[in-house]
Structure 1
């Protein structure tokens, strides 16, 4: 967590004053003082000079806050973004194992970036970037890769992991319709996170650039978290860069309650299931987590709509018949919205739905097109649940493979 740095600056004039000899012109008609009196005057003059020299020392203090570095991350042909760093002196940055990338604190400090690619390494600095071995080249080995995160401050409660880039092997269901002998959405490669809290986190794989997760670390200063990559036996191009941010307890703008794997802020945003990016792969199996949305000032509801992509919503229904389903018909995969309604001004007696699945996102079982769904139940949360299976066979009426979901949200004023 940010501390502070003190830098003592000595103006060049100090050296001049410290090495110069002064002579004082004796006023006309005055009588030279001798003995003790003269010695006192000399001492007094020396004292005044020393006082002036001391006043020219400037003590500069700056906090070890976050800073925007000159180090950039490629965004896959769509531009680049700057990595975050921590403001230290150049000496401190080097001693802590970081790399200077730009200046901060009005030029008195450097924006220190922490990058780790070595498997088995320990993360001890806030805002550290974990990258695959041999980065920026792809990781071609099948050996396990792991990192251990230690708290940089005893007041840290959780981690936020931002997937700046994340490409592993997905489920293997890379055909439009999968057969009953498929992997059923199971990951071939796996990324797992564990901590001393014992909380269960979903296994993640596939393409997840731009996603993020929160990890509870525990209350003890000695609590740690482990990030682990396991791979199947095939040779493939795997790449990742994950920003690890350590979050203090009760930090403003962060989730206040446990159980939020993801946390979104702002009036509008986008939610996607993991491994949604490839259009020809399936959503992941055995997922059970919550996506939380912070209620902004003056807002009382959230409206969800399916993203413009025609295949942005497809979750296996109870009977695999490909229709839109709600509540008890969603016993396999579903998205949970506690107070789902067709409008944001539902009356107390109106029926509210809590689970949605199938191929059409709507509260109307007879609808053939996706429709907005509104939720005015606080706190705002979307639950994701998938079982161990995906579409079971080509013979079913479901003509879409279970890709998962992409929802746009916007908060509605009171």
Structure 2
């Protein structure tokens, strides 16, 4: 974390002294997170001062960027022009993320607000899309309703990360976005492990597929049936950091419809059946301790499972053809880390 130095008077005839304070996260007068800077520093980086910090010496600076701009500052917000006013026509808006310093390895992008047009009836983002390029690994193309989601993206050497949001004229939906970029140092304990597009470091939580929900207005022109909210060509890991004293993780369903037709009596729990869209939980058991004969889960329902395999990871896979997955909503799964059953295991984290 960088520090700011400020020369101030310390008394008559005693010259000036050096006061330092960290450029840490602060809460602005608008009740959102900013970064603590001197007022002049905030102005120099085209930030907006909102409230005081560092015992009144600094200002809480909001760093806003929009289309065709870039930022190398932690805590930057990327919004559509004139946010929160919505975008209603065809547009292309990009922002480039540059490293704060050479010790930065990763960014976390929080979708504080991301409302785009739904995919077409077969799951392709043909009207609107969020596309992230330039980082290590692959971020899937995202569209639809994704407020509250997040992704972690590794820097690929010194290559900048580019976020591009395109909107098409085929939809009159009001689109808007506000993405917060947090830069993560290479040695930071909150850095997501390799291969984790999403990362949770809590004992409990809920994970959802991108664009999870019900009520798509897209109707397939061929079948006349409602289209899917699932997005095609998804292949990523959702990781949960195993905390000390916890040895297993339990997954329970709040809603699960990732293949087949809801209500169509398709409920698969078999590697042989789950070949198109599915989630993977390695080495799963029923809550009663009976091992399951598969690590793939698909269909239109999900039974509670427990896994002891470390690290705790759930993989998401969808293929490039959602044409038979009518009205699928995706998944919402809650996780709970479970305590170790003996002292030795708790100490060893096994």
What TM-score, normalized to structure 1? 0.75
Q: Out of 67, 82, 104, which is 2:26 matched to?
A: 67
1:391 is displaced (CA, Å) by 5.1
Residue-by-residue CA offset, 1:356-381 (whole Å, 9 max, x unaligned): 001121xxxxxxxxx31111110000
Find the residue that maps to 2:196 and give its secondary structure. coil
CA distance in 2, matches of 1:277, 1:315: 12
Note if 1:299 corresponds to 2:237: no
2-side partners of 1:239 and 1:351: how far apart? 43
Structure 2 partner of 1:190: 129
1:160-309 equivalences under 5 Å are 160-172=108-120, 183-188=121-126, 189-195=128-134, 197=136, 199-220=137-158, 223-234=159-170, 235-255=172-192, 257-280=193-216, 282-307=229-254
Retained in 2: the 8 A contact 1:156–1:247?
Answer: yes
Unaligned segments of structure 2, at least 5 residues: 217-227, 341-350
The C-alpha deviation readout for 1:60-81, integer Å capped at 9, x for no partner, is: 111112212222xxxxxxxxxx
- Once residues 132 and 245 of structure 1 are traced to their aligned partners in structure 2, the CA distance between those partners, rounded to angstroms, is 18
Deviation at 1:339, TM superposition (A): 1.4
Q: Structure 1 residue 288: deviation in Å?
A: 0.7
- Tell me, in whole angstroms, the C-alpha distance in 1 between the residues paired with 2:125 and 2:174: 16
- The residue aligned with 1:98 is 47
Report Cα offsets for 1:31-55 as digits up to 9, x if no partner: xxxxxxxxxxxxxxxxxxxxxx22x
- Check if 1:353 corresponds to 2:285: no
Cα pair 1:132 1:139 within 8 Å, conserved: yes
Structure 1: tracts of 5 or more residues without a match: 15-52, 72-81, 173-182, 362-370, 394-399
Q: Secondary structure at the match of 2:42?
A: helix
Instruction: Assess if the C-alpha contact under 8 Å between 2:106 and 2:191 holds in 1.
Output: no
Q: Contact (CA 8 Å) 1:166, 1:239: kept in 2 or not?
A: yes
Equivalent position SS for 1:408: strand
TM-score by length of structure 2 reads 0.88
Aligned pair partner of 1:340 in 274, 278, 284? 284
C-alpha distance in 2 between matches for 1:58 and 1:278: 61
Partner SS, residue 163 of structure 1: strand
Q: Does 1:324 align with 2:268?
A: yes
CA shift, 1:141, in A, is 2.8
Q: Secondary structure at the match of 1:306?
A: strand
Tell me the secondary structure at the aligned position of residue 283 of structure 2. strand
Higher strand share: 2
Residues in 2 aligned to 1:390 and 1:338: alpha-carbon distance in whole angstroms: 25
**SS state at 1:91 partner:** helix
Distance 2:50 2:270 in 1: 52
- Choose 1 or 2 for highest CA Rg: 1
1:86 to partner: Cα distance = 1.2
Displacement of 1:129 in angstroms is 0.3
Alignment correspondent of 1:314: 257
Deviation at 1:201, TM superposition (A): 1.6
Tell me the residue number matched to 1:134. Answer: 82
Q: Offset at 1:386? A: 0.6
